[in-house]
Amino acid sequence: MHQPFNVPSDAQFAGAVRELLAEVASSERIAALSDGDDLFDAGIIDSFGVLQVIDKIEERFKLSIPNDELVPQNLWSVAAIIGLIKRLIAAKSCFVQLRIRHDEE
């Protein structure tokens, strides 16, 4: 029997996202943000910065972000990025569970 995947809490995701953002922007500015603040309006990231954030998300979480998910609504805030990561992890988890079941048959 396989153990269920332990999904981090929103607070853990928020901490991880803020760490990623601190790699491309001032950590002092990031600390002052709420999870719903617009990262573009706050000057945290720009078009180049968003590419860096995408790369760091894929690297940190071992995910591949599909092109149809690369829309501003998924990257405009810490909360939006958390939602994106959680959806991608859930999709990956479902795929892995289906594959495990198939391989066991």
Q: What is the mean pLDDT of each run of 10 residues along the chain (105 residues)?
A: 60 92 88 93 91 94 93 95 93 59 50
Give the residue from 52, 41, 51, 53 showing the smallest Cα distance to 85: 53
State the residue for tokens 């995947």: 5
The pTM assigned to this predicted structure is 0.81
Give the per-residue pLDDT at 6. 63
Instruction: Judge: domain 10-104, CATH 1.10.940.10.
Output: no
Q: Spell out the domain ranges in the chain.
A: 10-104
Give the residue from 69, 68, 30 showing the smallest Cα distance to 49: 30
